Amino acid sequence: MALRIYSKQREQVLETVKSMDPHPSADDVYHRVRRRLPHISLGTVYRNLNQLVETGDLSCVRDGKMVRYDWETGHHQHFRCELCGVLQNVKVSNKEIMNLLSQYSGMIINEIDLEIKGVCGDCSERN
């Protein structure tokens, strides 16, 4: 785990990610942080996001070629809506899934990274 160093900019980046909808991109964070720190650069936001991931204060999720940031750092999976593209955290028991897969496959599974796809509640209500 990397050394935690306090800075006003890093604190603002972290608080911004925590206040946004799940999984904002660096650009999303940058535009929101600039409301409070108008002179902050995109490079500074990227640097602080990367440092927050290194210290374990944030996690990141690949979304195609884009990286999205997540303030929820514990084990969880993701749900992607096939209609609107929203990426949401899903609480499922990794241990139960790994035990089930191991039981039926004979494999020893140490970690699981699962993306669940379907239609979110908002989209299903609209359709």
Q: What is the mean pLDDT of residues 2-25?
A: 85
Residue 102 has pLDDT above 60, yes or no: yes
Confidence of residue 93 (pLDDT cuts 50, 70, 90): confident
Predicted local distance difference test score (pLDDT) of residue 62: 85
Pair 63, 19 in one domain: yes
Among 12, 115, 112, CA closest to 62: 115
pLDDT single digits (tens) 25-66 = 999 999 999 999 999 999 999 999 999 999 999 999 888 888
Residues spanned by the domain of 94: 77-126
Pair 41, 81 in one domain: no
Predicted local distance difference test score (pLDDT) of residue 89: 87
For 75, residues 6+ apart whose C-beta sits below 8 A from its C-beta are 94
Domain boundary among the residues 70, 99, 117 is at 70
Residue 2 has pLDDT above 70, yes or no: no
| Residue 25: Cβ within 10 Å count | 15
> How far apart are the C-alpha atoms of 51 and 48, rounded to whole Å?
5
> How far apart are the C-alpha atoms of 28 and 89, rounded to whole Å?
18
pLDDT single digits (tens) 112-122 = 877 889 999 99
Q: What is the CATH number for 59?
A: 1.10.10.10
Q: How many structural domains is the chain composed of? A: 2
Q: Where are the alpha helices (DSSP H) in 1-127?
A: 8-19, 26-33, 42-54, 94-105, 121-126
